[in-house]
Amino acid sequence: MKKYIFLSIILFIGFSCKGNEPDPTPKPPENNITSLKQAPFPIGAAVNVDALKNDNEYRQLLIDEVTSVTPENAMKMYALSSGRGVYTWDDADYLVNFALENNMRVHGHTLIWYHSNGWWIENTFSGTKEEWIAVMREYIQDVVTHFKSKVTAWDVVNEAFNDDGTYRPSIWYDNIGEEYIELAFRFAHEADPDAVLFYNDYGQEYSFNKIQAINTMVDTLLAKNVPIHGIGLQMHMNINSSETKINYAVNSARNLIVHISELDVSVNTENNPDATFNDELAQLQKNVYKYATEAMLNVNEDLRYGITFWGITDKYSWRSSAPDWVLPFDADFNKKPAYDGMLEVFNQ
Ligand code: XIL
């Protein structure tokens, strides 16, 4: 009997050990990603709707590479509204449908921006403070309601501060006062309580005054229970942008959700009309893309909204005053070192 028990134990140990033998087909480490679509947070692009309609290669690149889209211009006030209560949704709807068909998140940009008001409101509207508040409410709520349940989040207010931290003049600031910001967030939230609401601005990576102004505003809004959930850092940078300052800027969003919302990195810093792109510049650019990626990766998982490029290919970029190569894909849709740099960050 003892002999059988002994044998059973030996057999049992034998089988258990076999179960622990290494799997002969090695699997790649879990973090060995080969496409930005596999990144641990959404990677997005600002989308040019004309190109989306007319350039199949561009369309396919977006499908292959991004999980989030922001309309570059199609949801700006001048693009959506040609008069009070008069709307043209076609381009914005086209983009939203494209995104949803391809399982992409849609980031709404932007409800209130001094630079993109409709012509009619800049030039034909006048009224008391209450009338300005009413027209702002109407606009925000019409737009947010139209895209409700399709658009995940909104840049509710864009670029409210100057670089020195003072409020930037605009029809909204001039007619309503700084309260316009608080009201814009409340109105957007009323129209879609599920939407994630962002304040978006540029220059946090070089202007400490702007960071302070934003933080003071956010603290004041939160103390009044204003529904503000996230901070967008545009990060239109160049090859000299500092890693320390990029980190500082991303961390300055503190306990709100963080979005690097318009990333691009200029290599032609002097706007030289005869500039050309070369390997050395590509490497410097790659470094800055890596800094931004690392900074976002270090954000607490719950607060990482992701990184959106302002475009995707150098074929279509808003930085066109001089030749430049600001995006992670070149004009022929090939990956640049910047792209590989981001993968390196995720795979390290
Ligand atoms: C830019 C677009 O890329 C251009 O096509 C347009 O002519 C002007 O606006 N900050 C923003 C974006 O929040 O909306 C801007 O987009 C770039 C700067």
Residue 10: pLDDT over 70? no
Condensed to tens digits (0 to 9), the pLDDT of residues 305-343 reads 999 999 999 999 998 778 999 999 999 999 999 999 999
Find the mean pLDDT for residues 2-13. Answer: 44
Q: Which residues are catalytic?
A: 159, 262
Condensed to tens digits (0 to 9), the pLDDT of residues 42-90 reads 999 999 999 999 999 999 999 999 999 999 999 999 999 999 999 999 9
Q: Please give the pLDDT value at position 320.
A: 74
Residues 6+ apart with CB under 8 A from 296: 41, 250, 258, 260, 304, 306, 307
Find the mean pLDDT for residues 122-150. Answer: 98
Choose one of 312, 318, 319, 321 to mutate for the ligand 1 pocket test, by most ligand atoms within 8 angstroms of C-beta.
318
Q: What is the 3-state secondary structure (H, E, C) of the chain?
A: CHHHHHHHHHHHHHHHHHHCCCCCCCCCCCCCCCCHHHCCCCEEEEECHHHHHHCHHHHHHHHHHCCEEEECCCCCHHHHEEECCEECCHHHHHHHHHHHHCCCEEEEEEEEECCCCCHHHHHCCCCCHHHHHHHHHHHHHHHHHHCCCCCCEEEEEECCECCCCCECCCHHHHHHCCHHHHHHHHHHHHHCCCCEEEEEECCCCCCHHHHHHHHHHHHHHHHCCCCCCEEEECCEEECCCCHHHHHHHHHCCCCCEEEEEEEEEECCCCCCCCCCCCHHHHHHHHHHHHHHHHHHHCCCHHHEEEEEECCCECCCCCCCCCCCCCCCECCCCCECHHHHHHHHHHHC
Residue 208: pLDDT over 90? yes
Question: Which ligand 1 atom sits nearest the alpha carbon of residue 202?
Answer: 10
| Confidence category of residue 164, pLDDT binned at 50, 70, 90 | very high
| Confidence category of residue 141, pLDDT binned at 50, 70, 90 | very high
Q: What is the pTM of this model?
A: 0.92
Cβ proximity of 118 and 163 under 8 Å: no
Condensed to tens digits (0 to 9), the pLDDT of residues 256-273 reads 999 999 999 999 999 999
Q: Which of 20-24, 80-84, 208-212, 226-230 has the lowest mean pLDDT?
A: 20-24
| Confidence category of residue 31, pLDDT binned at 50, 70, 90 | confident
How far is the C-alpha of 98 from the C-alpha of 342, rounded, in Å?
A: 26
How far is the C-alpha of 72 from the C-alpha of 284, rounded, in Å?
A: 26
Mean of the per-residue pLDDT values of the chain: 93
Question: Which ligand 1 atom sits nearest the alpha carbon of residue 158?
Answer: 13
Cα dist from 160 to 15, 54, 132, 309, whole Å:
68, 34, 17, 21
Find the mean pLDDT for residues 2-26. Answer: 45
Pocket of ligand 1 contains residue 73 by CB under 6 Å: yes
CA 67–ligand 1 middle distance (angstroms): 21
Residue 125: pLDDT over 90? yes
The residue nearest atom 5 of ligand 1, judged by CA position, is 318
Pocket of ligand 1 contains residue 234 by CB under 6 Å: yes
How far is the C-alpha of 33 from the C-alpha of 21, rounded, in Å?
A: 26
Cα dist from 221 to 34, 186, 317, whole Å:
41, 10, 34
- Residue written as token pair 């596999």: 38
**Cα torsion through 56, 60, 63, 65, rounded to 10:** -130
| Confidence category of residue 16, pLDDT binned at 50, 70, 90 | very low
